[in-house]
Structure 1
Amino acid sequence: MRIRVLFSVLYCFATVSVTAQGKLTLIQGTVKDERTQTIVLFDVQNGEKLELATARLNSQQQFAFALPNIHPGFYYVSNQGRRKFVRIYLKAGDKCQLALTDTGYELVQPTPENKLLKEWTDLSYPVTKMSVFPRNDTVTYASFFPTLTAFLPKADAFRKKVNTPNAAFNELMKKSIGLEIEHAALKFMYTPNTKHPAKDEIIPYYATIYQPNKFANAAVLHSGDGVDLIRLYTTYMYTMVKKPGAQRKLTLPEILLFFGNDTIKGVFVENQLAGYRSLETFNEEIEPVKKYLVTDTMQARYARALKRLSTYRKGDKAFNFSYPDSNGNAVSLASLKGKVVLVDVWATWCGPCKAELPHLKKLEEELHDKNIAFVSISVDEEKDKEKWKKFVADQQLGGIQLYAKGWSEFTKYYDIHGIPRFLVFDQDGKIVTVDSPRPSTPELKELLLNTLNAQH
């Protein structure tokens, strides 16, 4: 079991001593940015950065950590805002001194591992900088692709010079180099940009990313960006195997076929758990792959997700919202009892929400003679209330238009963080689903009619 709360020490702590706990590893440094008050140290666990310890800066902008019995590997240091991460390598008994600057970091009397790691960080910076968001508007594939292509032989040459006295670090570093290039390349491709390449403009490097039984070992999980790389690779593979015009998303068992390691499969499934919004979908999709959730951490996250979703089970009593319409008249879910209720959570500033409106109008027209209430709840802030009223009038929106004055109790109750979101309740005011299909798909109409027929 890893230590999650450790202690910071005064910067004047000058020696690493052997205690009853074993060797202490000391990380100390200075920070140039006077706005920074706290430094956070992150461990890597299953491909993610997890907070290990924090230290407040003293009056000289100095910090220090003393860590007993650490495992060897990568760690990350970050300021309180966590905008930038500095990666270091630590093993028991190491002393690491850093000077964090506006543009990066400097090392004082570095270990051989950290000296080499710093060389790699500086060498790869032009590529990694261009791959992150937000980025300069002039950075598009037209500039990134040549930079990446020119960098690849340099990376190969650097890999050959990895030869410190630490054999375990050498192996870790060599594997990390290829994975980090993949991460930068995929992150660039799947980050919003002003220009995106056509298929014939994509450089040959991307074809090398695909491998049968990808991540056949767990090396990717030794990086704090490991989970993000797995996610990006999944997106990349989906675009490769998706047939033109296909609407169906890949199932979890289909996605897991991309990977050649059960641990990686478990980590991927674990990181999908928080995204589910209905218990029915959660049970349907997770049950076939639940066998990969083998660690205590995975099973605990599964239990938390299951508990959260159990609040929204089909047949449970729904939250009785009550919000004013454009004329100031309150409408509640209880007042709509006897009708099947479709709720659309939206906002005037939401592009995907507005893209659904024509489909929603069409659905209302097709079902106008049915006992269905079409309710739209706006999460526009109070300052935009008049904008909302004007939009409703200008667009001649039908149904019941309600104003919730921002992210209200309704969105909090159903844990809604992204819109549009559609929910369906039956004629008795009970949950059918809190994450229904969208009007742009035929499944929603079928769901509404089936709900009506079920209660006849």
Structure 2
Amino acid sequence: MKKIILTVISMVAGSSLMAQMSSIQGIIEPGSVRYTSIELMRIEHGAPVSIAKTDIGADGSYGFLFTPSYEGFYAVGAPSLMDGQFDFYIKKGENIQMNITGVQSELLGSLSEENQQLQQWNTLSNEIKGKAVYFNKSRSTYVDFFPAMENADKIVTDFQKQVNTKNVAFNALMKDYARMSMDFYALNFLSTPRTAHPDASVQRPAIYSTLVQKDKFASNNVMKYLYGERFVGMYIGYIARQHDIKDDEVLLPYLSTNEQKASYLIKGRLPIIKTYDQFTAFTEKNASYFDVPTQKVVLEDLGAKLYQSKAGEEASDFTYPDANGKQISLSDYKGKVVLVDVWATWCGPCKAQFPALRELEEAVKGKDIVIISVSVDEAKDKDKWKQMIKDERLGGVQLFAGGWNSKITKDYKIKGIPRFMVFNKEGKVVTSDAPRPSDPELKKMLEAELKK
């Protein structure tokens, strides 16, 4: 009986799990695409990020079973935009059918209200999208594209008026989606190679006169859109060309949120930074825009790649919370000699240095020497870290980096701990691989720097 009950519980748990899973499947018309495998993508900061990949069947069939991490737009298609990427709106437990022919897609079957609206928009805009995005297939030029765009604004406003599902959040998203995608097509057309180009006497469609607007992306829905990142970059580029603006400080206010600004900077500015001096100059101006964790990691990774912790170099700064949550930076202690100890509660050799570290701290008490201990324990072990500080009577400044893959380990290329580093009063590197406290040479090094 007990076995039967457990089996039933297992089946119920399994069915509950399956109810949370969603699927996207369909047929790709054989011979209409050049790729042999298809990818499932989530939308992250306005760009597709591959989360799964599968081979296309001999009959053109494909399919993905997955648990969406959010309700909203996902996409399937080729790794390259030019080969076709097709978005759909999905919720947990929803099953969607999408058939693909070349660079066009069609949502079929029993569709949710959301995907009915999306399919309706696709039907209205597919011709324009084909001319604007897939120029290598349509061979479109301004001669046929400009007339197709003459009624673009009306197409958008008429569609927006009839978006009225029970999903209020989706309604706002879809209305923005229609506006943004049409504007994107208008800009993308100007950015792609064509065989014929208009001269100054050719008047552009009306949509180009309304492209630039104050707070155009106020809702931040652009970052939930398949072409969002590309659109933001094109929008800023268009403004820069129209008004001959080269300064990002003038261009960035045209974007409404830090996520948008960081997205633009990641795509348009980070690739041209080749030295650490260029990186520090960039971060002095723009670091405040990188407050979304995943975007901040991109910035930090570039800094870590470019930074070389050589003697005499400016220290790469870091900021972490202490046991009370106060944010403390290495740069807060300019004017003092600083010893940094990188450690973790699970590290035996680190703990073996505690007695010598306490003796060193006592020996330099009252002098302009600061000892900063940075734990690279994972977030789940934060309480363990706090307890060890008490149990081991650890002094100095105790900071919590929250994981091994943190800024300090990446910047200073730390592969093993404990690691001790010394910085002079000017905030420059003395050494990023100092002797351990149990070695008398460390104390001599600190005192020598103190006399300078």
Q: TM-score under structure 2 normalisation?
A: 0.59
Deviations 1:366-393 (A, max 9, x none): xxxxxxxxxxxxxxxxxxxxxxxxxxxx
The corresponding residue for 2:247 is 251
Separation in 2, partners of 1:103, 1:156: 25
Equivalent residues of 1:140, 1:196 under 8 A apart: no
Conserved 8 A contact 1:22-1:69: no
Alpha-carbon spacing, 1:18–1:209, altered in 2? closer, same or farther (3 Å): farther
Q: CA deviation at 1:131?
A: 1.1
Asked whether the 8 Å contact 2:152–2:182 carries over to 1, the reply is no
Tell me the alpha carbon deviations over residues 22-65 of structure 1, each in whole angstroms, 9 at most, x when there is no partner. 61112222222266532211100111111121223345443222
Relative to structure 1, the CA distance from residue 221 to residue 307 in structure 2 (aligned partners, 3 Å threshold; closer, same or farther) is: same
What amino acid maps onto 2:142 in structure 1? Y
1:18-167 equivalence runs, <5 A: 18-20=15-17, 23-33=20-30, 36-79=35-78, 83-102=83-102, 104-106=104-106, 107-135=108-136, 139-167=140-168
1:304 corresponds to 2:306:
no
Instruction: Give a deviation string over 1:178-233, Cα, whole Å, max 9, x none.
Output: 11111011111222333144277233321211112432231110101111111111
Residue 88 of structure 2 aligns to a residue in which SS? strand
Distance 2:80 2:218 in 1: 35
Equivalences for residues 327-366 of structure 1 within 5 A: none
Which residue of 2 is the match for residue 263 of structure 1? 259
Aligned equivalent of 1:208: 210
Q: Deviations over 1:234-276 (max 9, x none)?
A: 111112221xxxxxx6232222122232332222223332332
Which is worse superposed, 123-132 or 77-86?
77-86
Question: Which residue does 2:419 correspond to in 1?
Answer: none
CA shift in 2, pair 1:305/1:103, >3 Å: closer
C-alpha separation in 2, matches of 1:59 and 1:142: 40
Do the aligned residues in 2 keep the contact of 1:278 with 1:312 (CA within 8 Å)?
A: no
- Residue 81 of structure 1 deviates from its aligned partner by 6.2
- Per-residue deviation, 1:66: 1.7
Per-residue deviation at 1:136? 6.6
Consecutive unaligned residues of structure 2, counting only runs of 5 or more, are: 1-13, 314-452
Is 2:240 the partner of 1:241? no
**Secondary structure at 2:179's aligned position in 1?**
helix
Q: For structure 1, which segment, 206-215 or 39-48, has the greater mean C-alpha deviation from structure 2 after superposition?
A: 206-215
Where 1:257 maps in the other structure, the secondary structure is: helix
Alignment RMSD (CA, Å): 2.9
2:89–2:114 contact (8 Å) kept in structure 1: yes
CA–CA separation in structure 2 for the residues paired with 1:240 and 1:81: 29
Q: Which residue of 2 aligns with 1:275?
A: 272
Distance in 2, Cα, partners of 1:80 & 1:295: 25
Distance 2:159 2:305 in 1: 48
Segment drifting more, 263-272 vs 86-95? 263-272
Structure 1 window deviating more from structure 2 (66-75 vs 217-226): it is 66-75
Letter in 2 for 1:231: G
Q: CA deviation at 1:142?
A: 3.2
Quick check: 2:84–2:102 contact (8 Å CA) kept in 1?
no
Indicate the larger mover: 229-238 or 263-272.
263-272
- State how far apart, in whole Å, the 2-side matches of 1:31 and 1:142 are: 32
Is the Cα–Cα contact under 8 Å of residues 40 and 79 in structure 1 kept in the other structure?
yes
Whether the aligned pair in 1 keeps the contact of 2:23 and 2:65 (CA below 8 Å) is yes
**Is the CA contact 1:252–1:289 (under 8 Å) kept in the aligned structure 2?**
no
* Aligned residues of 2:45 and 2:259 also touching (Cα < 8 A): no
**Residue matched to 1:180:** 181
Shift of 1:102: 3.3
Name 2:390's counterpart in structure 1: none
* Paired residue total: 294
1:202 is aligned with what amino acid?
R
Cα distance in 2 for partners of 1:108, 1:288 equals 51
Letter of the 1:98 counterpart: M
Cα distance, 1:86 vs structure 2: 1.6
Quote the Cα distance in structure 2 between the aligned partners of 1:81 and 1:224: 13
Which amino acid is 1:255 matched to?
A: L
Cα offset, 1:73, TM superposition? 0.8
| Equivalent residue letter for 2:64 | F
Partner of 2:289: 292
Q: Deviations 1:336-381 (Å, cap 9, x if unpaired)?
A: xxxxxxxxxxxxxxxxxxxxxxxxxxxxxxxxxxxxxxxxxxxxxx
**Residues of 2 paired with 1:282 and 1:231: CA distance?**
20
**Inter-partner Cα distance in structure 1 for 2:40 and 2:202:** 43
Task: Tell me how far apart the structure 2 counterparts of residues 81 and 231 of structure 1 sit (CA, whole Å).
Answer: 18
Q: Does structure 2 conserve the Cα–Cα contact (< 8 Å) formed by 1:43 and 1:75?
A: yes
Q: Percent identity?
A: 24
Shift of 1:69: 4.7
CA shift for structure 1 position 157: 1.5
CA 236–53 in structure 1, closer or farther in 2 if over 3 Å, else same: same
| Alpha carbons of structure 1 residues 312 and 120: separation in structure 2 relative to 1, 3 Å | farther
1:96 Cα deviation from its structure 2 partner: 0.6
* Letter aligned with residue 227 of structure 2: D
Report the residue type matching 2:73 in the other structure: F
Q: Any unmatched runs of 5+ in structure 1?
A: 1-16, 243-248, 317-456
- Alpha-carbon distance in structure 2 between the residues aligned to 1:139 and 1:312: 53
- Partners of 2:115 and 2:170 in 1: CA distance: 10
Kindly tell me: are residues 79 and 203 of structure 1, through their superposed partners in 2, closer, same or farther at Cα, counting changes over 3 Å?
Answer: closer
